[in-house]
Amino acid sequence: NKSYTVDLANTTQRFIIPNANVDISTISIQIQNSSSDSTVVTWADGNSLDVTTITSNQKVYFLQEVEEGKYEIIFGDGAVGKQLTDGNIIFIEYLITKGVVANKASTFTAVGSVAGLTSANYTLTTAAVATGGAAAESINSLKNNAPKLYQAQKRATTKDDYKAILLAERNDIESLTVYGGEDASPAVYGKVYIAIKPTGNTVYSEATKDVIKTAILKKTNVVTVIPELVDPIYYYLLIDTVVNYDPVTLLTNEQTLKSAINTSIGKYFTSDLQKFDQKFRYSTLTKNIDNTNSAIRNSKTSIKYQMRIIPATLATTSTYTLEFNVPLTKGSITSTAFGASDGYTYTLVDDSAGLIKLARSTYTTSGVTVDSPAVYMTLLDGSQNQGTIDYTTGKIVLNNFNPYSISDSTTNIKLTVTPGTNNQDVTPLREEILTTDTTDTTAIVVTMVAETII
């Protein structure tokens, strides 16, 4: 907190918040009439209002960023907003933040006492993990977004309008995409879909989505169009590369070179992927691998694709659609294990003829093995057809899929496929984001082969 006493005789007086990294959404400004008059009134944020509607007596303040990343409070001049009087006391309260560092915080340790009770007498439970933390917007980002926001005029009528308005209001957005309902699968007319990847997290909580809908979209959206917030669909790439290198010219050791190759692959994902509308290019990845060190002679890289089915509720029938958007190899579908209504463990397989079945399997912590001879689950309709796969387009549809449990105790079932052509590029669809799973030790596998030419 910070307080100032207004001195109109001091023409250079400024009201600056002394801390950097202020969360401006938490700023509260209260004005006390004077040291002898304790009447206190809370003033409103004028930046959130239409300036053309602010009257001469309206008690508002304005915020602007100044030197060293700090903020200055400015008050009205008697024409737009009420003017301060000599002797007014300004009380400023606010929170400072460390941006992305706080994201995902969910467990807190009580310190001290509340209402006379020690910390042992109460428990703090969080409804959802912390989200929304981000660094201040960069100069380049401001230069890019400001013209678009001005063009939108606080009215969302085009895709770019939605993007500009959301980026201006939420600096915790790392990437977003907007598409009309006519481009959805299946098409839904009269809607606009907005997918957002927040900084430091994979998806927004439902509470945050509700805030965005009510505080931002409801005020700017065209009445006849319904905005719909959807979660990103993460499309995982599994990399398996065999690297031949010359140990004679290698100035380090094999393990150091292997670590450097892993770093090169990771940098490719960070710089070229992991955002909406970013395409995977096989040749770029392999070039980055080969250019890691001059001792590398060549490499052979294989790619597999993976998407994840996340049941909202187990033991509930739902239909799932996964679109890989590339040709796939027949008979290549594998999945992690799950329990079914009959008590057995199953995995998803395809029959090379376009049908997907549930094959009885054995699960261990080291992997999943389809039982031999193969036994397929018979569904309620008397068939063994759990869904379909289009090998040309890579579209998979699971009809009335009903897992009762997930064997590895995670919240998702991983479905992995092999491309029809190994060296093909991948273009994500709509809300898909191409990425890799940094927590999966099998997602990036580098095999080193020493190749000495005599």
Q: Which helix (H) or strand (E) segment is 339 a member of?
A: strand 338-339
Residues 232/432, Cβ–Cβ less than 8 Å: yes
The per-residue pLDDT for 158 is: 76
Residue 190 CB neighbour total at 10 angstroms: 10
pLDDT digits 0-9 by tens, 9-50: 998 999 999 998 898 889 999 999 999 998 999 999 988 787
The per-residue pLDDT for 454 is: 58
- End-to-end Cα separation, the chain, in angstroms: 74
Mean pLDDT for the stretch of residues 64-86: 90
Q: Could you tell me where the DSSP H helices lie in 155-217?
A: 159-169, 206-212
The per-residue pLDDT for 451 is: 81
* Residue 447, pLDDT above cutoff 90: yes
The per-residue pLDDT for 327 is: 92
Residues 104/71, Cβ–Cβ less than 8 Å: no
Percentage of the chain surpassing pLDDT 90? 45
Mean pLDDT for the stretch of residues 60-89: 90
* Residue 123, pLDDT above cutoff 80: no
Mean pLDDT for the stretch of residues 91-109: 86
Tell me which of 52-56, 127-131, 170-174 is least confident.
Answer: 127-131
Report the alpha-carbon distance of residue 48 to residue 172 in Å, rounded: 18
Residues 393/321, Cβ–Cβ less than 8 Å: no
The per-residue pLDDT for 276 is: 92
The per-residue pLDDT for 151 is: 61
The per-residue pLDDT for 414 is: 93
* Two tokens, residue 286: 């392999």
The per-residue pLDDT for 444 is: 93
* Residue 453, pLDDT above cutoff 70: no
The per-residue pLDDT for 23 is: 87
* Residue 118, pLDDT above cutoff 70: yes
Closest residue by Cα to residue 63 from 26, 10, 8:
26
Give a three-class secondary structure readout of 231-287.
CCEEEEEEEEEEEEECCCCCCCCHHHHHHHHHHHHHHHHHHHCCCCCCCECHHHHHH
**Contacts with 143 (C-beta within 8 Å, 6 or more apart), sequence order:** none
The per-residue pLDDT for 258 is: 93
Report the alpha-carbon distance of residue 419 to residue 305 in Å, rounded: 7
Mean pLDDT for the stretch of residues 365-376: 87
Question: Which position has the higher pLDDT, 446 or 163?
Answer: 446
pLDDT digits 0-9 by tens, 128-170: 788 778 777 777 877 777 776 656 566 677 778 888 888 888 8
The per-residue pLDDT for 152 is: 56
